[in-house]
Chains A and B, each alone.
Chain A
Amino acid sequence: MKNKSLIIAVLALLCAFLLPLLTNDYIVQVATEIAMYAALAAGWNLIGGITGYPSFGNVAFFGLGAMLAGAFSVNWHWPYWLAGIVAVLLTGVLGFILGLPILRLKGHYFSIATLALAEATLAIVTNLQFLGGGKGTSLPLIGSPLLFYYIMLAIACLSALITYLIVHSQYGNTLLAIKSDESAAQAVGINTVLAKSTAFALSAFLGSMVGVVYAIWQSYIDPPTVFEPGITVLMLVMTMIGGAGTVAGPIIGALIIGIMTQLAMAVSQNASSLILGLAIIVVVLFLPQGILGSHRSGKGGKRPGKHSFSWRG
């Protein structure tokens, strides 16, 4: 039984790996975006899905990763890989430190605080000349579309692996306990502050890693683009559609939204957002637990707290 899911995962990965052989550059570009959002959604899932703290500000980490790596490489002439590693580590540490106060809030209050966090980060970055300010940063045109596809794919796989390891570990049970009943978890001696902040830091770490690659892939970044609140919304919607708290949910969600976006654009250029929006509403109305969640409850009954998405915090 265990082998079967492993075989399917390997087959899916093989398909993704061989995809560029069958298609053209445009599809590779679309697939790169899907892999990118899969990684971002998986990062969001760590804090929003598994821990049950729906963050509306994860784009801040994506943006910080991109802007910091750009600034280090342009201003200090660091090689980009080094600039990227330092940017990712800094953002991860920042996520941990910011998590300490923000994760004291619950439910909607937490969501609002993270929303404000993203907006405040945007304002600060826009006014720091070191980070390029409002002018943005222009990076050299290097690498090939194929290279960036495989890097994004690797980050998406890494995100899935981290999620898998967490879900099947003692730490995962700790986060599950926090999601189910935080007071009870605290009462039995779990260091909830540390556990939550670590999850937030991991989420920041992954988001920032995607941002670093995005910056060099696009070769030009400016704050309004990399701090676009819609990016957080996509992470959230993808995770919810796929199934919050699950390993494969964010990836399935990213695939579905990515392909639906392309189909909607093929149907109508002007109404693509409308079509996509309606499709999301339909999915959320009829599959409130996400695709994996609903499948599960149909087969073996619901296990609230593990595979369902809870707004109770």
Chain B
Amino acid sequence: MNINDIKEILGAEVICRTDLLETTVNAACGSDMMSDVLAFVKEQAVLLTGLVNPQVVRTAEMMDMHCIVFVRGKRPNLEMIEMAEDRDMVMLCTDLEMFTSCGKLYSAGLRGGSGK
């Protein structure tokens, strides 16, 4: 699956880095708690979250993630968008809620990581 597939599946809007939509992604994580993301995610490329602050981008950066999906119609501010652009991350926004977003992506073959 690539990021463009995620965009299509979630009916999402691309906020930044359209040039990276072809990036392949193998696993994802959905959480509003960044410490949980830092604890359990390995080799995951996509972060789904309803949290909107710069630490979302920082967390994704530390985990080498390629794409952040904001669910429930949340939108990043300009500062966050600039941070993501600078770090080669695609940002997507969907009106779908977290559970539905994760369910759709899972059904399409995207998986979570290996846990601990």
Do the two chains bind?
no
| Residues of A participating in the B interface, judged by any CB pair closer than 8 Å | none
